[in-house]
Structure 1
Amino acid sequence: MTDESIAVPATPSPDELAERLTEVFDLVGPLYRRVHRKVEEAAPTEGLSVGVRAVLDLLRTRGPMTVPHMGRAQALSRQFVQRMVNDAARQGLVESIANPAHRRSPLIRLTDPGRDAIGAVRAREHALLRRVDGDLTMPDIDACLRVLGAMHALFEDVDVD
């Protein structure tokens, strides 16, 4: 038995959907730039740039990867990722290991200090994100991830190199 007082939202037209998705872009860009600045503010304390942080977190979640694979996964140029890997290696946060699948493209993996560094950064970020207001629910977050995932898929074919 259904409650007829609950309105089921109508499927939006393509134009209505595009207009609302534009609002998402309008929020995502400034949000990204503010988060970027916040990470940069902490860089002197933690010694990690935004790019190195991204590399370390990717290796934390996916394990050892080649620089080209990291670039594709992050929609960043291979050259930029290589510079970030070089920075991380100079700090002793990552190391190159042999890649059985490709002799000329080594795998990059976290070192113990790299694991510790990204763990500390994520703990600080987690503490900050716990302060988000808005009575958000897990279904809200699931919907957000679904929308952003669909938008990401739309631009998946854009070459970043």
Structure 2
Amino acid sequence: MSHPRRTPTGETLTSLIPDLFRLNSLLFTAGDRMVAGLGLTSARWQILGAVIAAERAQPVAWLARDLGASRQNVQRIVNDLERDGLVTFETNPHHRRAQLVVLTDKGRQAFDAAMRLQLPWVNALADGVSQKDIETTSRVVAALRRKLESSEASA
């Protein structure tokens, strides 16, 4: 009886996955160091970015979905952001219990300050890597993410 084998592409992706895990860890660590002086962490910064990126105020569950994170973890971080005055909650006219997360002026200032710190860092990180390679990587990551999201939705 023959055993299934990875395709050459599957083998290449398998060898890439540990590097992606390590890259994710390194990005969060670098982000934590970068924004620590602002009273932020990478996770808090990421959620502020999701609030800003949303076309309108969203409940925590929608933010979690957009981030691919658990609702409980996002709720915990949003509660911390609210306690520190970076976001506030507003009544959701469509769902009484799922309040909307709204950025405050203080939250916008913190996010903008983080992005000012990120600018020289990201430029230095990208130095020596071709824009075309980064664009290709972005397309591959997006395609893999879509496949994983659609398999989760159908599971």
- What TM-score range do you get, normalising by the shorter chain? 0.7 to 0.9
The 1:127/1:154 distance shift into structure 2, 3 A limit, reads same
Question: 2:25 aligns to what?
Answer: 33
Q: Please, which moves more after superposition, 122-131 or 86-95?
A: 122-131
TM-score when normalising by structure 2: 0.84
Give structure 1 regions of 4+ aligned residues with deviation exceeding 6 angstroms: none
Question: 2:84 aligns to what?
Answer: 91
TM-score when normalising by structure 1: 0.82
Give me the whole-angstrom Cα distance separating, in 2, the residues matched to 1:135 and 1:141. 7
Among 53, 60, 64, the alignment partner of 1:61 is: 53
Residues 31 and 42, structure 2, Cα contact 8 Å, conserved in 1: yes
Question: 2:3 aligns to what?
Answer: none
Q: How many residues align?
A: 145
AA in 2 matched with 1:136: S
Q: Please, which moves more after superposition, 14-23 or 54-63?
A: 14-23
Report Cα offsets for 1:95-153 as digits up to 9, x if no partner: 1112122121111011011011011112211210101232412x322211110011112
Structure with greater helix percent: 2
Among 11, 20, 33, the alignment partner of 2:12 is: 20
SS of the residue 1:155 aligns to: helix
1:117 matched to 2:124? The reply is no
Among 31, 38, 44, the alignment partner of 1:46 is: 38
Q: Which runs of 5+ in 1 are unaligned?
A: 1-13
Identity of aligned residues (%): 30
